[in-house]
Amino acid sequence: HWTLLSVSLLNCLLSTACSVGLALAVALTVHSRGTHLVRGCNSSALPLDARSAIATNDCPFNTTRIYDTALALWFPSLLLAAAEAVLSGRCCLVALVFRGIGPCAHGYGKEQV
């Protein structure tokens, strides 16, 4: 029971931190319209909006689709990380009930005996 409690609590904390980080990344990317994604490119030919950026020889990657691709990957990742945090939190509550802690613990202990 203690292993379930500690692993689920650790996973819940890590998943929550991952969700917050992804939400921050999405918010900053949308707010800056993707300019931070191509900041490493030292080209004055890049426009302010990364959606309309063109591939130049100054960038080691093709900048034409980086904004849409980043957001398309981050939104499902954010949803999955949030779902993982919720499920880990529920596992943590189950582990607490198994240890006899929590509102449902007393009923479970009496039924077990």
Q: With a cut of 70, which residues of the chain have pLDDT below it?
A: 36-65, 102-113
Cα–Cα distance measured from residue 106 to residue 66, given in angstroms and rounded to the nearest whole number: 54
User: What is the pTM assigned to this prediction?
Assistant: 0.66
Residue from 101, 105, 108, 95 nearest 3 by CA:
95
Predicted confidence at residue 105, as pLDDT, reads 61
Predicted confidence at residue 57, as pLDDT, reads 47
**Taking the chain, what is the end-to-end CA distance rounded to the nearest angstrom?**
18
